[in-house]
């Protein structure tokens, strides 16, 4: 009996061993399946996050598509959109430019490596946009997607670079002479040909988090403290203050506002015929913020026409069709819905521009 019992125990043990092995095998399988599931989920989420946050084809009617524009006649001002907040204004004699960010390195390059201006891309943009009478470059703020290329654009065109102390440090780092740069003097008009540009203090789009990291400026290090030599990390480009531009040309008035934020009362005493309005991340802000932003910009300036800016995915090259910002950090369709709802009520024309697209404003 004992032997039988022993045999029985051995069989039971062997069976339970088999069961345990099966159990572990199943558990491993389950864990492996779970791993695959989360990996696929993560890849899918990532894939979705890296898609444009809207279908630009749905906004086709807002693009003028004016091809083969004739020479600029006296009194007219032509605008050419060069992505993000790079705007070229041209009256036939003088050209002025905001930012001039043309290199647009890919998301991977920007996230993983040090980045630098690409002289070949910059030269090709200068050629294609016919930038050959440029007198001034005005930098909205010193993040890389605004300030990185402006020193090289200044070098190639001999135009003067206007910016904050941080932007001047981007210029010095790129080897631009101090004589080719001028620090912003808030409220003091600068005349370039028939353009009169007044720099106004503004505010950067409210900070946000991506993968737990915030893009907020560290209050202890608000500026680029010394010449910034390229290649440099995207995060080395510290905001250094944000600025709007009030541009007068004869009786015509333009405001370029790059960031989605406001300084209360900043536009109390001015009006604009055309407003270039930063709409990035507008829908990510509270309803109250959206309303005040609209009141302090559009309703103060009373423009006849608004051209949204900073809506395109600046990780894509400028020579490809511009697409909305990525889902990971923005919602273009929601931004446009907010703007179009409000401007329809106020009967203000909204127009969009593709990369290298030009129209006469006046
Ligand atoms: Zn910025």
Task: Tell me, in angstroms, the distance from the centre of ligand 1 to residue 239's CA.
Answer: 6
Task: Tell me, in angstroms, the distance from the centre of ligand 1 to residue 204's CA.
Answer: 6
Task: Tell me, in angstroms, the distance from the centre of ligand 1 to residue 98's CA.
Answer: 14
pLDDT at 152: 98
pLDDT at 75: 86
Residues 6+ apart with CB under 8 A from 57: none
For residues 314 and 310, give the distance between their C-alpha atoms in angstroms, rounded to a whole number. Answer: 9
pLDDT at 209: 77
Residue count of the chain: 362
Q: First CA to last CA across the chain, in angstroms?
A: 108
pLDDT at 156: 98
Q: Kindly list the protein residues that place their beta carbon closer than 5 angstroms to ligand 1, a single-atom ion.
A: 143
For the chain, where are the alpha helices, taking DSSP H only?
Answer: 2-49, 107-112, 119-128, 144-147, 150-157, 165-173, 287-294, 300-301, 332-345
Task: Tell me, in angstroms, the distance from the centre of ligand 1 to residue 324's CA.
Answer: 17
Task: Tell me, in angstroms, the distance from the centre of ligand 1 to residue 67's CA.
Answer: 32
Tokens of 262: 């406001």
Beta strands in 78-119 (DSSP E): 78-81, 87-90, 95-98
Task: Tell me, in angstroms, the distance from the centre of ligand 1 to residue 244's CA.
Answer: 13
Q: Do residues 266 and 200 touch, judged by C-beta distance below 8 A?
A: yes
93 three-class SS: coil
For residue 341, the Cα-to-chain-centroid distance in whole angstroms is 23
Task: Tell me, in angstroms, the distance from the centre of ligand 1 to residue 2's CA.
Answer: 83
Task: Tell me, in angstroms, the distance from the centre of ligand 1 to residue 178's CA.
Answer: 24
Task: Tell me, in angstroms, the distance from the centre of ligand 1 to residue 14's CA.
Answer: 67
Residue that has been written with the tokens 């605004």 in this structure: 146
Pairing of strands 181-183, 160-163: parallel
350 three-class SS: strand
For residues 239 and 202, give the distance between their C-alpha atoms in angstroms, rounded to a whole number. Answer: 12
Q: Do residues 299 and 293 touch, judged by C-beta distance below 8 A?
A: no
Q: Do residues 114 and 144 touch, judged by C-beta distance below 8 A?
A: no
Task: Tell me, in angstroms, the distance from the centre of ligand 1 to residue 143's CA.
Answer: 5
Query: What does the DSSP 8-state code read for residue 234?
Result: G
pLDDT at 213: 75
Task: Tell me, in angstroms, the distance from the centre of ligand 1 to residue 218's CA.
Answer: 13
Task: Tell me, in angstroms, the distance from the centre of ligand 1 to residue 35's CA.
Answer: 37
Tokens of 263: 């300084």
Q: What is the pLDDT along the chain (362 residues), one digit of tens a residue?
A: 444 444 444 444 445 556 656 666 667 766 767 676 666 666 656 666 789 999 999 999 999 987 667 899 988 999 999 999 999 999 999 999 999 999 999 999 999 999 999 999 999 999 999 999 999 999 999 999 999 999 999 999 999 999 999 999 999 999 999 999 999 999 999 999 999 999 999 999 998 877 677 888 888 899 999 999 999 999 999 999 999 999 999 999 999 999 999 999 999 999 999 999 999 999 999 999 999 999 999 999 999 999 999 999 999 999 999 999 999 889 999 999 999 999 999 999 999 999 999 999 99
Task: Tell me, in angstroms, the distance from the centre of ligand 1 to residue 236's CA.
Answer: 12
Residue that has been written with the tokens 């991340």 in this structure: 281
Task: Tell me, in angstroms, the distance from the centre of ligand 1 to residue 142's CA.
Answer: 7
Task: Tell me, in angstroms, the distance from the centre of ligand 1 to residue 76's CA.
Answer: 31
Beta bridge partners of 198: 246
Q: Rounded to the nearest 5°, which phi and psi values hold at 263?
A: -115, 120
307 three-class SS: strand
Q: Do residues 231 and 218 touch, judged by C-beta distance below 8 A?
A: no
Question: What b-and-e string marks burial along 58-88, b requiring 16 or more CB atoms within 10 Å of the CB?
Answer: ebeebeeeeeeeeeeeeebbbbbbbbbbbbb
What burial class does residue 251 get, using C-beta atoms within 10 Å of its C-beta: 0-12 exposed, 13-18 middle, 19+ buried?
Answer: exposed
Cα distances (Å, whole numbers) of residue 188 to 101, 137, 198, 281, 297: 25, 16, 6, 30, 20
Question: Of 258, 287, 257, which is closest to residue 270 (Cα–Cα)?
Answer: 257
């Amino acid at each position: 009996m004992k032997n039988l019992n022993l045999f029985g125990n051995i069989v039971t043990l062997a069976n339970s061993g088999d069961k345990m092995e099966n159990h572990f095998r199943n558990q491993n399988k389950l864990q492996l399946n779970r791993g695959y599931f989360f990996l696929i989920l993560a890849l899918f989420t990532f894939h979705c996050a890296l898609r444009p946050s809207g279908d630009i084809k749905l906004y086709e009617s807002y693009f003028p598509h004016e091809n083969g524009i004739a020479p600029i006649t006296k009194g007219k001002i032509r605008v050419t959109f060069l992505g993000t907040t790079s705007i070229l204004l041209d009256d036939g004699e003088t050209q002025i430019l905001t930012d001039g960010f043309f290199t647009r390195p890919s998301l991977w390059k920007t996230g993983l490596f040090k980045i630098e201006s690409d002289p070949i891309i910059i030269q090709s943009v200068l050629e294609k946009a016919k930038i050959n009478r440029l007198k001034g470059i005005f930098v909205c703020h010193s993040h890389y997607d605004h300030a990185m290329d402006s020193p090289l654009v200044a070098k190639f065109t001999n135009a003067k670079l206007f910016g904050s102390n941080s932007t001047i440090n981007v210029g010095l780092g790129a080897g631009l002479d101090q004589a080719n740069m001028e620090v912003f003097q808030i409220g003091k008009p600068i005349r370039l040909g028939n353009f009169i540009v007044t720099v106004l203090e503004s505010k950067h789009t409210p900070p946000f988090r991506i993968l737990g990291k915030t893009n907020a400026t560290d209050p202890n290090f608000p500026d680029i403290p010394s010449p910034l030599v390229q290649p440099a990390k995207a995060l080395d480009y510290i905001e250094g203050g944000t600025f709007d531009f009030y541009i007068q040309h004869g009786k015509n008035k333009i405001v370029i506002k790059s960031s989605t934020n406001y300084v209360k009362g900043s536009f109390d005493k001015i009006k604009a015929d055309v407003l270039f309005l930063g709409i990035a991340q507008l829908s990510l802000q509270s309803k109250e913020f959206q309303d005040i932003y609209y009141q302090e910009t559009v309703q103060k300036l009373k423009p006849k026409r608004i051209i949204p800016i900073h809506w395109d995915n600046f990780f894509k090259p400028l020579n490809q069709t511009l697409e909305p910002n990525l889902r990971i950090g923005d919602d273009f369709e929601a931004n446009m819905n907010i703007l179009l709802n409000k401007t329809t009520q106020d009967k203000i024309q909204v127009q969009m521009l593709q990369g290298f697209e030009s129209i006469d404003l006046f």
